[in-house]
Amino acid sequence: MNGSALNGNSRQGSFNGWNPEDFPDIKAEEMPEYIPVTAAEDAKPLGMLPQPEELAELQRLSQEYTPDVTGPLVGELKSSKALAIEYANADPTYVRKTASLQHKYDSYRTIRGDGNCGWRAVAFGFFELLLRSGDQNRIGMEHARITSLNGLMESVGYQSYVYEDFAEATFALFSTLQNNPADEANLLDTFNDSGLSDCIITHFKFLTGAWMKSSPNDYQPFLSTSVADFCSTNIEPYGVEIEHVGLMALIDCLILPAGMAVEIIYLDRSAGDEVNVHRFEKLEGDGILTPPDAPVLRLLYRPGHYDIVYKTEDLPPPVAAFPVPAAPPVQVSFLPTLPQQLFQATPAASFGPGGLAAYFSPTPFPLDLAGPGFDHPTTLPSPDPGNFRQSMLSIPEFQPSPFQPLPFQTTTFRNSPFNPSHFQSENFQPEIYQPPTSPTATTGKKGDKS
d(CA 63, CA 394): 98
Q: What angle do CA 142, 143, 144 make, to 5 degrees?
A: 90
pLDDT of 334 over the 50 cut: yes
Closest CA to 32 of 56, 57, 55, 59: 59
d(CA 165, CA 112): 24
115, 202 Cβ separation under 8 angstroms: no
Closest CA to 178 of 140, 126, 129: 140
Share of the chain above pLDDT 90, in %: 38
DSSP 3-state of 134: coil
| Predicted pLDDT at 439 | 54
Please name the residues in contact with 253: beta carbons below 8 A apart, sequence gap of 6 or more: 149, 207, 208, 211
| Predicted pLDDT at 93 | 84
Closest CA to 260 of 273, 249, 247, 251: 251
d(CA 340, CA 388): 10
Q: Which residues of 70-100 are buried (b: 16+ CB within 10 A; e: fewer)?
A: eeebbbeeeebeebbeebeeebebbeebbee
Q: Which residues of 352-366 are buried (b: 16+ CB within 10 A; e: fewer)?
A: eeeeeeebeeeeeee
Average pLDDT over residues 275-303: 89
Instruction: Name the residue with higher pLDDT: 48 or 404.
Output: 404
Task: Give CATH for domain 65-314.
Answer: 1.20.1300.20
d(CA 289, CA 79): 33
**DSSP per residue over 67-78, as a string?**
--SSS-SEEEEE
Residue pLDDT, tens place only, 135-165: 899 999 999 999 999 999 999 999 999 999 9
- The secondary structure element, H or E, covering residue 79 is strand 74-79
Instruction: Name the residue with higher pLDDT: 441 or 220.
Output: 220
262, 299 Cβ separation under 8 angstroms: yes
d(CA 276, CA 267): 7
Residue 365 pLDDT class (50, 70, 90 cuts) = very low
**DSSP per residue over 238-250, as a string?**
TTPPP-HHHHHHH
305-310/107-111 β-pairing: antiparallel
Average pLDDT over residues 235-247: 92
Closest CA to 258 of 284, 229, 291: 291
**DSSP per residue over 379-405, as a string?**
-PPPP-TTSPPP-GGGSPPP-PPPP-P
- The secondary structure element, H or E, covering residue 299 is strand 296-302
Q: What are the start and end residues of each CATH 1.20.1300.20 domain in the chain?
A: 65-314
255, 122 Cβ separation under 8 angstroms: yes
- The secondary structure element, H or E, covering residue 309 is strand 305-310
353, 346 Cβ separation under 8 angstroms: no
d(CA 412, CA 422): 12
Residue pLDDT, tens place only, 132-142: 988 899 999 99
Q: Is the pTM of this model over 0.75?
A: no
- Of 49-58, 236-245, 435-444, where does the model show the most confidence? 236-245
SS percent in the chain: helix, strand, coil, step 5: 40, 10, 50
Beta bridge partners of 352: none
Residue type, position 390, single letter: Q
Residue pLDDT, tens place only, 57-110: 555 554 555 555 678 999 999 998 888 888 877 778 888 888 888 889 999 999
| Predicted pLDDT at 70 | 73
pLDDT of 113 over the 50 cut: yes
Instruction: Name the residue with higher pLDDT: 332 or 207.
Output: 207
Average pLDDT over residues 357-382: 50
User: Can you say whether the dihedral through the CA atoms of 225, 153, 280, 180 is positive or negative?
Assistant: negative
pLDDT of 173 over the 90 cut: yes
107-111/261-266 β-pairing: unpaired
Beta bridge partners of 276: 266
Largest CA distance in the chain: 153
pLDDT of 289 over the 80 cut: yes
